[in-house]
Amino acid sequence: MRIALTHPRASDVGGVERQAHSVAQALLDAGHEVHFFCQRVDASIDARIAVHRIPSPLRAVRWFKVWWFDRACERAIAANGRFDLVHGFGKTSRQDVYYDGSGCLADFQSWSIDGAIASGWRRQLRRASPHQRVVARIERARYTRGSYRRVLAISELVRRQILDRYGLPPRDVERLYPGVDLERFAPDPAARERTRGLLGIGGDAPLVAFLGSDYRRKGADTLIAALARLPDAHAFVIGGERADRRAAFESKARAAGLGARIHWLGVQPDPQRWLAAADLMLFPTRFDAFGSAVLEALACGVPALVSRRAGVAELVTEGKTGAVLDALGDGAAWAAAARPFLDAARRGELRALARAEAERHPWSGHVQRVLGVYDELLSAPKGE
């Protein structure tokens, strides 16, 4: 087969980016030809991939960059000969297979923008921004019959959004959870003591993990409020954020008396070594189509408390691999839910349960289903 993959970034780092890269490698290993159309490319991607870079002439203008990639990507694919299938992973209007790893814009706006911005006029301004309008236009085009053959949704949460908002035939939209690298993300008995030494944590104080960029949407306020009610616990925060916003959250933590108990680590190239040292992960996000960091935590043997607004909540078994909460921003509720999972006497049991759940979702299973979808489409009568 000759397959075209599209996403603004060709990389083996990141949720959807890593999925696209893994699909590309599986195709290459099976002897197929893979072309990747993107705006940016990381040096770490598989050298066997034929990369077609589509730079934007106005990189600093966010809405234009999205609009340009959609239009220019379609032209570039057409100019590079016939492909058996085109598989889109980003904000593009037309493809044979689309993997929706972000969910519908209107739901994101309702849960993330409206819930996070108090000012009514600021919410309206954000919703009406050129970037939001371009994304909405692309999304409407994508879910018009004739613009796709199969849609793969990263979670049942996202699948329901697509079906409810666009009325597609249910058979056209399949839920397909991402996988996790079970070798990279794995329990490490030595990590706990090693990491506690790096962070200067004495004794056997519980350690909570918080991963994700965009601290406001991911719920860093809730982490701070919860940790204030867990007097013995420490936490580390991994993920990118603008310097001024990160400083504001650090200031809130200090004001709450947590300056020495929350460790702000920024972006880390090896999150697995930190995750393996944690006792629990908090993921109080306002909205996430999935939340791969939670699956990675489970793979490291770490149970997780997860917002119901995250697709990955569908994988959490109450009381065993974690808990699912509705009470966004309620630090007392998150602290109460955390306490049973910070019991040192249950640590071994909880780690085993978390790892067992992650082992049900290897990358190989995800990739094999993608290839199965390809086979189904290529063997279907023309026009179906």
Question: pLDDT digit string (tens) for 345-383?
Answer: 999 999 999 999 999 999 889 989 999 999 999 998 765
Amino acid symbol at 304: A
Read out DSSP for 138-200?
HHHHHTSTTS-SEEEESSHHHHHHHHHHH---GGGEEE----B-TTTS---TTHHHHHHHHHT
pTM, full prediction: 0.91
The mean per-residue pLDDT over the stretch 102-112 comes to 84
Give the residue among 152, 136, 142, 23 at the shortest CA–CA distance from 97: 152
The mean per-residue pLDDT over the stretch 24-40 comes to 94
pLDDT of 186 over the 60 cut? yes
Number of Cα atoms under 13 Å in the Cβ half of residue 61: 10
- What are the structural domain ranges in the chain? 2-179+362-379, 191-358
Read out DSSP for 69-123?
HHHHHHHHHHHT---SEEEE-SS-S--SEEEESS--HHHHIIIIIHHH---HHHH
pLDDT of 307 over the 80 cut? yes
The mean per-residue pLDDT over the stretch 61-71 comes to 93
Query: Percentage of residues in the chain with pLDDT exceeding 90?
Result: 79
Judge whether 2-179+362-379 and 191-358 match in fold.
Answer: yes
Q: How far apart are CA 169 and CA 236, in angstroms?
A: 44
The mean per-residue pLDDT over the stretch 63-90 comes to 95
pLDDT of 114 over the 60 cut? no
Would you state the structure tokens that stand for residue 379, as one six-digit string? 């063997």
Top CATH class of 191-358 equals: alpha beta
Top CATH class of 2-179+362-379 equals: alpha beta
Would you state the structure tokens that stand for residue 133, as one six-digit string? 């309008």
Give the residue among 68, 117, 75 at the shortest CA–CA distance from 91: 68
What pLDDT is attached to residue 18? 83
Would you state the structure tokens that stand for residue 276, as one six-digit string? 């393996």
Instruction: Place 8 in a pLDDT band, splitting at 50, 70 and 90.
Output: very high
What pLDDT is attached to residue 324? 98
Query: Percentage of residues in the chain with pLDDT exceeding 70?
Result: 95
pLDDT of 69 over the 70 cut? yes
Instruction: Place 126 in a pLDDT band, splitting at 50, 70 and 90.
Output: low
Instruction: Place 122 in a pLDDT band, splitting at 50, 70 and 90.
Output: low
Q: How far apart are CA 275 and CA 283, in angstroms?
A: 13
What pLDDT is attached to residue 121? 56
Q: Rounded mean pLDDT of the chain?
A: 92
Question: pLDDT digit string (tens) for 257-278?
Answer: 999 999 999 989 899 999 999 9
Strands ordered across the beta sheet of 150-153: 50-53, 33-38, 2-6, 85-88, 97-100, 150-153, 173-175
Question: pLDDT digit string (tens) for 130-171?
Answer: 888 999 999 999 999 899 999 999 999 999 999 999 999 999
Name the more confident of 248 and 117.
248
Could you tell me if 371 and 26 are in contact, meaning their C-beta atoms sit under 8 angstroms apart?
A: yes
What pLDDT is attached to residue 353? 98
What pLDDT is attached to residue 113? 61
Instruction: Place 39 in a pLDDT band, splitting at 50, 70 and 90.
Output: very high
What pLDDT is attached to residue 19? 85
What pLDDT is attached to residue 384? 61
What pLDDT is attached to residue 163? 97
Give the residue among 210, 214, 211 at the shortest CA–CA distance from 224: 210
